[in-house]
Chain A
Amino acid sequence: MGWFKRSKQKISPESQKRDIPDGQWVKCNDCGEIIHNKQLEINLWVCHKCNYHFRIGADEYVSILMDDNSFKETDKKMKSGDPLVFEDTKKYKDRINSTIKKSGLYDAVKTGTGKINGIKVSFACMDFRFIGGSMGSVVGEKIARAIDRAYNNRMPMVIVSQSGGARMMEAAFSLMQMAKTSSRLARLSEAKLPYISILTDPTTGGTTASYAMLGDVNIAEPNALIGFAGPRVIKETIGKDLPEGFQRSEFLQEHGFIDIISERKDLKNKLAQVLTYMS
Chain B
Amino acid sequence: MAGNVLDFEKPIADLESKISEMKKYEDNLDIKEEISRLEEKVFKLKQNIYNDLTRWQRVQLARHPERPYTLDYIFMMTKDFVELHGDRLYRDDKAIVGGFATLDEYKVMIIGQQKGRDTKSNLYRNFGMANPEGYRKALRLMKLAEKFNKPIITLIDTPGAYPGLEAEQNGQAEAIARNLFEMSLLKVPVIVVIIGEGASGGALGIGVGDRILMLENTWYSVISPESCSSILWRSWEYKEQAAEALKLTAKDLLEFRLIDRIVPEPLGGAHKDHKTTAETLKQVLKEELAGLVKLKSDKLVQSRLEKFSRMGVYEE
Instruction: Decide whether A and B are members of one complex.
Output: yes
Q: Using known A-B contacts A86-B245, A183-B181, A228-B173, determine if residue A75 contacts B316 with beta carbons closer than 8 Å.
A: yes
Which residue of chain A has the shortest Cβ distance to B315 in the bound complex?
A: A79
Which of A13-21, A52-60, A185-193 touches B? Answer: A185-193
Interface residues in chain B, defined as those with a beta carbon under 8 Å from any beta carbon in chain A? 161-165, 167-174, 176-178, 180-182, 184-185, 200-201, 204-205, 207-208, 220-223, 228, 231-233, 241-242, 245-248, 252-253, 256, 258, 304-305, 308-309, 311-316
Asked if A27 CB lies within 8 Å of chain B CBs, one says no
Q: How many residues belonging to A are interface residues under a CB distance threshold of 8 Å?
A: 66
B309 touches A172 (CB 8 A): no
The interface centre, meaning the residue of A80, A171, A185, A257 with most chain B CB atoms within 10 A of its CB, is A171
Q: Using known A-B contacts A83-B256, A171-B248, determine if residue A78 contacts B170 with beta carbons closer than 8 Å.
A: no
Q: How far is the CB of B298 from chain A (nearest CB, A)?
A: 11
Q: Using known A-B contacts A80-B315, A89-B232, A137-B313, determine if residue A212 contacts B168 with beta carbons closer than 8 Å.
A: no
Which residue of chain A has the shortest Cβ distance to B302 in the bound complex?
A: A187
Interface residues in chain A, defined as those with a beta carbon under 8 Å from any beta carbon in chain B? 75, 77-84, 86-89, 137-138, 140-141, 144, 166-168, 170-180, 182-187, 189-190, 205-206, 208-214, 226-229, 233-234, 237-238, 240, 242-243, 246-247, 251, 255-257
A228 touches B228 (CB 8 A): no
Give how many A-B residue pairs fall within 8 Å (CB-CB): 198
B164 touches A186 (CB 8 A): no
Which residue of chain B has the shortest Cβ distance to A236 in the bound complex?
A: B163
CA distance A227 to B170 in the complex (A): 11
The interface centre, meaning the residue of A82, A138, A178, A210 with most chain B CB atoms within 10 A of its CB, is A178
CA distance A243 to B168 in the complex (A): 12
Q: How far is the CB of A40 from chain B (nearest CB, A)?
A: 31
CA distance A176 to B253 in the complex (A): 11
B173 touches A209 (CB 8 A): yes
CA distance A140 to B312 in the complex (A): 8
Q: Which 7 A-B pairs have the closest CB atoms?
A: A183-B184, A229-B163, A137-B312, A81-B313, A182-B180, A83-B313, A208-B173
CA distance A185 to B180 in the complex (A): 10
Q: Using known A-B contacts A168-B231, A227-B168, determine if residue A179 contacts B314 with beta carbons closer than 8 Å.
A: no
Q: Using known A-B contacts A172-B253, A229-B163, determine if residue A213 contacts B207 with beta carbons closer than 8 Å.
A: no
B313 touches A173 (CB 8 A): yes
